[in-house]
Homo-oligomer: A and B are copies of this chain.
Amino acid sequence: MFEKCDLSKKIDDKTFEKEIKPLQVEIGVLTRALWEHRVPIIIVVEGWNASGITMVISELIQHIDPRGFSLHSVGSPNDEERARPLLWRFFTRIPAKGRIAIFARSWYSRSLAEQVNGIDWKSAVRFSIDTINSFERQLADDGAIIIKFFLHISKEEQKRRLDEREGNLLTSWMITKGDWDFHHHYDSYLPVIELFVEGTDKSYAPWTVVEATDSNYTCLKVYSTIIKRLRKHLDRIESSGKPGGKNNGKNGIIKPPKTTVKRQSAPQVEYSRPEYEKHLVRCQEKVRDIQYLLYKRKIPLIIVYEGWDAAGKGGNIMRLVRLMNPRGYDVVSIARPDQTELDHHYLWRFYQRFPKAGHITIFDRSWYGRLLVERVEGYCTPSEWRRAYREINEMEQAYVGSGGGLIKFWLEVSKDEQLERFQDRQNDPLKEWKITDEDWRNRAKWNEYEEAVEEMLSRTSTAEAPWTIVESDDKYYARLKTLQTVIDYGRQLLR
């Protein structure tokens, strides 16, 4: 596709001035209107070094209300970012509803720089493309407008510009050896960039390749492309009477194959108290060793706890971490989202808490809330929770694919056992705070929850991230089983 570009395109200053003016006014009007409709907008500007990314963005933001956008300048990742999966730093930067995020370079440059060094670069590119496509589709499904530019210049033009910058005292220090290395490999990067652009040129997130030799032409093309996309989206919203993105939701709902996951609350084995205590300490010591080794090998691990109210999640987690080094793990309790979280894609708040390399994050409830409480209580629309099966599977696969460990526990108790525990809590002044009216309300909806649980387990048990059912009518058994599962899984990871 790049060879078809006519890199000699030019626009003279007078024509430019005349044509850009109305576009500058219109972009202000359109972005304000979309802000009122709470539509998030993502603008990605990619391109060769010295192709004018900064210039384009500089021009663009003059006419957008500075209160409405954030600019993310993407360079090498910092320590914190390097310790996490590639997309983490971008997912945490997606715009809230009604805001604009402009990316000066993006996940594309980073994928190119970080994943195309190995021997097996072709499959790395394939994996990157798949991961990026699901990332962008998820954002589009959530209502975001995604506009992507690649600024294209020839190798000769690039050399001319690098030389020019090196000749200027104010800018010469910014040109590094890396820039020249990249320049010398222009021809080998070209096909890889084409592969990326073609593989990620989707209807929900199309690319515009801009012939960037002349800055007037470049600016005009960028402006008019953005305006066309924004206007189209706005028209659709205003004619349908609701935000456009939600409609796209349908595309995202593809039913993954069902697996049968057998729920069971009664354990096969029973432990006496002394047996339990002996096993417990031994397992805890092994878990501690595994934590050290994961830390040393810089492998991150996520452990998800889901289960019925009073299934014993809290006590179970306490035993799991008993001998772990507290500086290397985090227990994240997931409660109702706050307003800022509601203003973002629902996975945003979880990405923020993902573990860095070598660390363990234990989620006490998790993103599965979308498929359980949010579904049953109607906190999200049916198309939203239906879409979530696929979104969650993709997120987990991307994370596991990048080398992270993931264990998912479902703590199953019988309805009778739950009742007994509720009553116990109510009668114990030290435990009373643990039980609320909400627990009783949830219990009244047992059947609806059961349906949601069944569907969740069967649709999100994948080869990369299977569920482990923990039979929790007996707390001793349940605790030993989770510990043993972590030990077995940890050893596999460390192999």
Interface residues of A (CB under 8 A from B): 25, 28-29, 32, 54, 57-58, 61-62, 65-67, 70-71, 73, 78-80, 104, 170-171, 173, 289, 292, 296, 314, 317-318, 321-323, 325-328, 330-331, 333, 335, 338-340, 364, 430, 433
Contact = CB atoms under 8 A, between A and B. Distances in A.
Contact of A66 (B25, B66, B317, B328): B317
B322 A62 contact: yes
A359 to B, nearest CB: 10
Nearest to A288: B170
Q: List 10 tightest A-B contacts by C-beta distance, closest first.
A: A73-B327, A67-B333, A78-B79, A66-B331, A78-B80, A57-B326, A58-B326, A170-B292, A71-B326, A338-B339
B61 A326 contact: yes
A78 to B, nearest CB: 4
Given A71-B326, A78-B79, A66 B32 contact: no
Nearest to A289: B170
Nearest to A65: B314
Contact of A339 (B58, B70, B339): B339
Contacts of A78: 78-80
Contacts of A104: 326-327
Copies in the complex: 2
Contacts of A70: 330
A277 to B, nearest CB: 15
A66 to B, nearest CB: 4
A29 B66 contact: no
Contacts of A67: 331, 333, 335, 364
20 contacts: A32-B433, A54-B325, A54-B327, A57-B326, A58-B325, A58-B326, A62-B322, A66-B317, A66-B333, A67-B364, A70-B330, A71-B326, A71-B330, A73-B328, A78-B79, A79-B79, A338-B338, A338-B339, A338-B340, A340-B340
Contacts of A173: 296
Contact of A314 (B58, B66, B80, B289): B66
A66 B364 contact: yes
Contacts of A322: 62
A325 B433 CA distance: 54
A85 B318 CA distance: 36
Contacts of A364: 66-67
A408 to B, nearest CB: 19
A79 B321 CA distance: 30
Given A71-B330, A78-B80, 18 more contacts: A32-B433, A58-B323, A58-B326, A61-B326, A62-B318, A66-B317, A66-B318, A66-B331, A66-B364, A67-B364, A71-B326, A78-B78, A79-B80, A104-B326, A104-B327, A170-B292, A338-B338, A340-B340
Contacts of A58: 323, 325-326
Contacts of A333: 66-67
